[in-house]
A and B are shown apart, each in its own frame.
Chain A
Amino acid sequence: MKPTAFEYVRAGSLDEVLTVLEERGDEAKVLAGGQSLIPTMNMRFAAPEVLIDISGVTELRGIEVRDDVLRIGAMCRHVEVLNAPEVAEHAPLIAMAMPNIAHAAIRNRGTFGGSLCHADPAAELPACVLALDARLNIDGKSGPRSISARDFFLGTYMTCLADDEVLISVDVPKVMSENVTFFDEVARRRGDYAMAGLASQATVRSGFITDVRLAFFAVGEVAVRAPHAEQALQGILLQDMDADAICSAIADDISPFDDLTTSGAAKLTMMQVLTRRAVESFAKQGAHA
């Protein structure tokens, strides 16, 4: 259980990261917290020739409150995001998700950007940025670009990042007073990979629910929205929300497949249970709004 030999570069600046990525292309891997990459290398599922350690790159750090968005640096460790008052205030969905991410020792090293770029289908953060319609800021030798979370994830462990690109930061739209949010997952124990999970946000105006985003994880190749179920909630009066109809719509959206521990049928049931909880929570939050 030891990785193959590799070359190690500790980058001092973003420019250095981009230069090495340009020179080495797919031989290189960016090392942030290493909490997914190192085990993958220990098991020799991955054997990059060079690791570029970005932990010392200041441009990738920090949490910044901007006009409409909260900007979270890719190199922010989970523990920083978990404890940041700005995240609790402006992105409560992410704050709710954080304690569910792995274990304390992993959260002390693992990073926000690393989790997104790893694109594990059972990870919490891809579903969160999907539900929040966040934008991911990327840089590469061909220039910077910004991409919607909807277009970032391509499949299991696959994103639209090119070999010479690196994730810089994530812009999360700030929560508004009329937003309602819900996060929950079903896992055997705290810190285990979820068997099914739901990150969601909606808007309640004059008692009507709109702009519903239901993002499920651990139920397919990648975190996924449920458009039929969202439509079944759209424009409905809070007190008229029909959990049965929404739950049956979910079966039209997603057919989870079996994984090593959980059957697809069980996952579908869990998704419906989570959706019921979300609907109840929306009704409660909306009543107080």
Chain B
Amino acid sequence: MTGPLAITITINGEPATRAVEPRLSLADFLRAEGFTGTHVGCEHGVCGACTIRVDGRTARGCLTLAVQCDGLEVETIEGATGNGCVADLQDAFIENNALQCGFCTPGMLLTADELLQENVSPTRTEIREHLSGNYCRCTGYQAIVDAVEQVARQRAERT
């Protein structure tokens, strides 16, 4: 009854059909598939380290069950890195020292990218508010806000 269920999730463009226990979180599922850029921190939706994209929108990997994503498309930081959509953010994070240990960084990048897709010229307050669900215990956030602000400017200049 509570045994494994067969599901198919498209991870970074590649469909994966697996039998999973209903209680398996999407974050744990992805990590077991080798996508360990999905970090598991608080496991109750507070820290944002497990942020991934489900059907193009950010979600908490720890608050989503793998079985809920049957038939859906999931993108992890490995996928976003591979297709280059966050390359400018990654460069800016390095340039601005916007990471130290790197635990929060995958979630920060995907969350920041979602903000910049919806708001091409966010204020620093808007950047802080959008990132308020992603904890960083190293940087004090200032450098992260600097990096996101810089990329917003760069993307605006490019278009």
Contact = CB atoms under 8 A, between A and B. Distances in A.
Contacts of B48: 103, 105
Contacts of B63: 34-35, 38-39, 106, 109
Nearest to A41: B23
A190 B68 contact: no
Interface stretch (B11-19, B51-59, B77-85, B150-158): B51-59
B58 A108 contact: yes
Contacts of A237: none
B111 A104 contact: yes
Contacts, number: 93
B108 to A, nearest CB: 12
B45 A35 contact: yes
B133 A103 contact: yes
Given A104-B130, A104-B133, A191-B132, A109 B22 contact: no
B70 interface: yes
A109 B23 contact: no
Contacts of A269: none
Nearest to A53: B68
A55 B65 CA distance: 13
A10 interface: yes
B22 A7 contact: yes
B96 to A, nearest CB: 22
Q: Of B21, B64, B115, B134, which is in contact with the most chain A CB atoms at under 10 Å from its CB? A: B64
A6 interface: yes
Contact of A55 (B62, B68, B129, B132): B68
Given A105-B51, A105-B60, A189 B45 contact: no
A106 B67 contact: no
Given A4-B23, A39-B45, A191-B129, A108 B65 contact: no
Q: Of B1, B51, B65, B111, which is in contact with the most chain A CB atoms at under 10 Å from its CB? A: B65
Interface residues on A, range: 20 to 34
Interface in B23-78: 23, 25, 42-45, 48, 51, 54, 57-60, 62-65, 67-68, 70
Interface string B99-138: 0000000000001001100000000000011101110000
Interface residues of B, number: 34
Interface string A4-32: 11111010000000000000000000010
Given A7-B2, A38-B64, A55-B68, A106 B133 contact: yes
A38 B45 CA distance: 9
B114 A8 contact: no
Contact of B111 (A34, A42, A105, A189): A105
A4 B65 CA distance: 13
B94 interface: no
A191 B23 contact: no
B70 to A, nearest CB: 7
A189 B131 CA distance: 11
B60 A106 contact: yes
A189 B22 contact: no
Interface string A128-170: 0000000000000000000000000000000000000000000
B5 interface: yes
A8 B5 CA distance: 9
Interface in A25-67: 31, 34-35, 38-39, 42-43, 51, 53, 55
A83 B108 CA distance: 23
12 contacts: A1-B43, A2-B23, A39-B63, A42-B62, A55-B68, A79-B57, A103-B130, A103-B134, A104-B58, A108-B54, A108-B57, A109-B64
Interface of A: 1-8, 10, 31, 34-35, 38-39, 42-43, 51, 53, 55, 79, 102-106, 108-109, 189-192
Given A31-B68, A104-B111, 13 more contacts: A1-B43, A2-B23, A6-B22, A8-B5, A34-B65, A35-B60, A39-B43, A79-B57, A105-B58, A106-B45, A189-B132, A190-B129, A192-B132
